[in-house]
Amino acid sequence: MSDVGYHPPTIMCPVCGGQVTILYSDKINRCEYCGSPVLGSSQSRDCVNHPGRLAKGVCHVCGDLICEECMEKRVGDYGGKLLTIVNCRKPSCVAASQWAKPLDEEYQRLTNMDWADHIDNVILRITGLGGIMLMILELIFVLTLFYLQYFTPWGQAGNIPYYFFPGDLMIILSILGNVLSAVVMQVALQVYIHERQLSSGIILLILLVIEVAYLVFRGLFFNLLSLPDTTIVAVFLGAFLVAVTLIFTGALLAIRTGYKKYKQYKFAQEEIRRMSEGQHAPH
């Protein structure tokens, strides 16, 4: 029978929802988007090492189906979130999984952060939106100053200070402003990482104070309050206030949530230490 015109069946990935092409009916197929295993339609569901025993997992390296006795669970960091993987005990698969640490199931249970998934997403959206707005406003601020300096009588009359040629200080200070906004944006994205959330929230507040002070300094230094029409200044300050409010709110939420996570980590470490000491205590 000719294979011309044949198209392998596809299904939706149960993990990410992406389209998975079923190339093999008798073995594991991988989602090309998230790498999750999808069983073939005629594939045996038994453990590869124990026929007749239902498999409980799939080795993320070789794709063999394995039972709990044959599997080794590991946990690794992926984008700031803990990812649990399973590998079989073949030396090659164990070696390929060395990037992740062996799973301490009791510690994982004590440090489970599922309760924070919703608030983490809210914090990331708030701070991320505020950071994007801040970067856009910095760019608009630069373009506005260029317009005022070179295309208005007010700027050409020398109201914007400079050292050697009109606009030199404006360029230097604008570059610094854009670098600062980029740093704010980068830190704003770190609030999603469990271990960095508390410190990122604190750093974000500090950077926000510096950003506000730097903007006020530039506005006064460039004499923007003496503009004949201060509508531009009012609009810009209003938009800047919205961005600052978003970042400030997200930073406070990050500090509050990060502190709760910090206490949970400390409690988990103390519990594991206490249990360890109890196991090694003389009877």
Q: What is the residue-averaged pLDDT of the chain?
A: 87
The CA distance from 25 to 37, in Å, is 13
Q: Mean pLDDT across the stretch 100-105?
A: 81
Q: Does residue 104 carry a pLDDT above 90?
A: no
Under the banding of pLDDT at 50, 70 and 90, the label for residue 82 is low
The CA distance from 67 to 97, in Å, is 18
What is the reported pLDDT for 118? 92
The CA distance from 123 to 244, in Å, is 14
What is the reported pLDDT for 81? 62
**Of the given ranges (26-35, 199-208, 213-222), which has the lowest mean pLDDT?**
26-35
**How much of the chain, in percent, has pLDDT values that exceed 90?**
49
Q: Does pTM top 0.95 for this prediction?
A: no
What is the reported pLDDT for 232? 87
* Amino acid, res. 278: G
Q: Does residue 257 carry a pLDDT above 80?
A: yes
* Amino acid, res. 196: R
What is the reported pLDDT for 3? 56
What is the reported pLDDT for 272? 81
Q: Report, in angstroms and rounded to the nearest whole number, the Rg of the chain calculated over CA atoms.
A: 28
The CA distance from 262 to 31, in Å, is 35
What is the reported pLDDT for 102? 83
Quickly count: other Cβ atoms within 10 Å of residue 111's Cβ: 18
